[in-house]
Amino acid sequence: MALSADDAHASAAGHADHGHAATPVVSFVTGPDRYKHWSYRVQGAVATVTLAVDKDAPMVPGYELKLNSYDLGVDIELADIVRRLRFSHPGVRCVVITSGIAKMFCAGANIKMLASSTHTWKVNFCKFTNETRCELEDATTFSGQRYIAAVNGTAAGGGYELAESCAEIYLIDDGNSAVSLPEVPLLGVLPGTGGLTRLVDKRKVRRDHADVFCTKGEGFRLRDALRMRLVDGGWPKSKWEQGLQDRVAAIVGAETGAEPGIELPDVVVETTQEAGITTLSYPHVQVRIDPAARTAHLLLRAPTQPPETTGDSLVQAGAKAWSFAAFAQLDDALLQLRFNHNQVGLILLQTGGDAQQVLAHDAALTALRDQGHWLAREIQLHQARVLRRLDNMSRSMFALVLPGSAFAGVLAEVLWSADRAYMIDDPDKPNTIHVGPGSFGTYLMHNGQTRLQTRLIGEPELLAAVQARIGQAISPSDAEQLGLVTRSPDDLDWDDEVRLAIEERVSFSPDALTGMEQNLRFAGPETCDTKLFGRLTAWQNWIFQRPNAVGSRGALTMYGHPQAPVYDWTRT
């Protein structure tokens, strides 16, 4: 017997293993009045973002954030700033990232934090930091906010990786400041947030130069960094401020930065527990977590009100508009699952409500975007980014399409993010999905393709057939024939087939599943991003567990001690 989309929550596992015994449950909600490590100032079309880490305010007790090093708390603030600049200050055209601590731009991820963290924490920390860097690049590419790194001190490891995520890098020539990626020689690990990939794929550094750079712990100062394309320019200390001002002025041109934005309120979630089940309740999202079953049911609700159809009404709705709010809440729910409930092995994705309302909101947003409205553009970019976070979940994901579902338009992208999709075919209960035009170019994956292109990679005739059905109600049997769902069992077989699929999935090795899913989800072209989230995550996942890094005499363990690390010299 099939359940409706609203009562089908069966649940999934949640148990917080945060990587440190004293680590609290992580919240990703912050704001300028709560920042401890970052600040930003907007003057016209220019924003200056300054890192001055409070060394005595780590996320977890037990280490100091010396030398402008960072932990997850520092990066949560940066992610918040990047988003606020896009939505609250859309007139900004140049964002300067710099340091407020003398002679040190950023020393990267805090080594003692990494050494004292569990493997799960380290990998999730690196993934979130990667996603933040990608959002920064997304703002440069699509929002017209060009980020430049004003490296006014040494940038090492993750500090240089932060600079690499900017469109331009300028290094002060003060006889001391340098850029470096010292992870291989000093720590026995890889640069964890895209340093290697951005070096050769984005900055186009020659392979031999990159090899030298990544094995020279002290790095390079301006002259050699310029020669090797590690930076874009620089000035001596006496000309630093003027040189930077001139470059910013060239980027901004005649822009005034006067365009008003919207406020971003906190995402509010109510957490309840009953009979071993944890429920996260948001206005448009609900997650029910069953630790015993190691599953989570995630429900996205369709809008219940008509869409905003004018630019003024959209701005007036602001962050309360369903198209923004639902995906902000989904974003928070995904991060909650990733960090605070890492025993969940399978997320069961569902939707509920009026599919036609979803299509109407999509259409109104697209019409405003095509008219050049900045907020409509930013909301769709926001939706695309959250969907990419969903693609990146290191959890198995099955979509369950039930009567009363709203897998339509942008919510259908959730269906195509899933590893499998099951759609019940019950003749007494109509059940349909609806493809929207946005699925053919608005919500791109990390591989630069749509989810439908990726899903139907070897079947272009099916892709064309699906495109011909835009806006139509697609039945379970047609959805299976078109490749939109994996299986469409009838009402007699549904319970057993879905139950067995769930039980089988949660019985498999989580390590094997993570590797398998990351390989299968990003079919098609390889991009800088797919290397970050497929190749880098997989290799860093392995290297972070190796004795050469984290053993009792491994390089990460011994960093800062007088004894040298001891390696197993076997090459694998």
> Looking at the annotation, which residues are catalytic?
109, 158, 161, 183
Residue where the block lists tokens 């599953």:
295
Give the list of residues 6+ apart from residue 158 with CB closer than 8 angstroms, or none. Answer: 70, 106, 107, 108, 109, 129, 191, 192, 193, 195
What distance in Å separates the CA atoms of residue 219 and residue 177, rounded to the nearest whole number? Answer: 9
The residue written with tokens 């338009």 in the block is 409
Give the list of residues 6+ apart from residue 466 with CB closer than 8 angstroms, or none.
435, 452, 456, 482, 483, 484
User: Is the dihedral angle over the CA atoms 98, 102, 107, 113 positive or is it negative?
Assistant: negative
Q: Where are the alpha helices (DSSP H) in 269-321?
A: 311-317
DSSP state of 440: G
Between CA 181 and CA 187 the distance in angstroms is: 11
Rounded to whole angstroms, the Cα distance separating 413 from 331 reads 14
Residue 444: Cβ within 10 Å count: 15
Q: How many CA atoms lie within 13 A of 225 on its CB side?
A: 28
Structure tokens at 308: 């905003």
Q: Is 499 exposed, middle or buried (0-12, 13-18, 19+ CB in 10 A)?
A: exposed
Q: Which helix (H) or strand (E) holds 140?
A: helix 119-142
Beta partners for 172?
235
Structure tokens at 158: 């993750």
For 44-112, what is the HEC assignment? CCEEEEEECCCCCCCCCCCCCCHHHEECHHHHHHHHHHHHHHHHHCCCCCEEEEEECCCEEEECEECHH
| Measured distance CA(141)–CA(143) in Å, rounded | 6
